[in-house]
Amino acid sequence: MGKFDLARAILETGSFHWKATPQFTLASGRASEYYVNCKQLLSHPGYRRILAELIAQHVKGWDVQAVGGMEIGAIPIATAVSDYVYDRTGRELRTFVVRKKPKDHGMKHAVEGAFQAGDRVLILDDVLTTGQATIDAITQARAAGLAVTQALVIVDRQEDNGRQRVEALGVPLTSLLTLQDLKELKGKPDA
């Protein structure tokens, strides 16, 4: 499986929308003619497996002990990768989740999961535009004592300096696809 299979899966699941004029409001508040919603993709076990296989190819060369990121988007990605790596190699790649805001009850943690202070971790996200969700996840993970060594996103929109903003924190960013990859495969805007 390769990146073309993932791009095709994104199109097949209706996870990529492209209009001739800006019609989608992004998390930043900006209007765009493109919208990527990986929740559709992540709702299918076969497509999660393709995604996990692609991410596992990267993880194989990285010294990380856990994978996670911002709720909700990173949860199915981290779980799929952790399960895939364990099933194939027996390597335990633990998972964690970063809350958008700490719980106001219980332990009141902003980061939950199987990790220890000092663990080297990979931050995952579905789509990168401004990079703010990835930056927030990195910041919270570091505050919880984790050493963030890598970040990976499914789709980098290559807009709003997202990559540069993440890498300014000293975290290398890998993207499986770009918005351009999806545009080239789709060929033209939706009618």
**Does the global pTM surpass 0.85?**
yes
Tokens of 66: 């856990």
| Closest to 73 measured CA to CA, from 6, 9, 2, 128 | 128
Q: Which residues pair with 148 in a beta bridge?
A: 121
Length, in residues, of the chain: 191
Kindly give the confidence (pLDDT) of every residue in the chain, 191 residues in length, as a single tens digit, with 9 standing for 90 and above.
Answer: 689 999 999 999 999 999 999 999 988 888 999 999 999 999 999 999 999 999 999 999 899 999 999 988 899 999 999 999 999 999 999 999 999 776 665 556 788 898 999 999 999 999 999 999 999 999 999 999 999 999 999 999 998 999 999 999 999 999 999 999 999 999 999 87
Domains and CATH numbers, the chain: 3-186 (3.40.50.2020)
Please identify which residue in the block is written with the tokens 């989608």.
Answer: 24
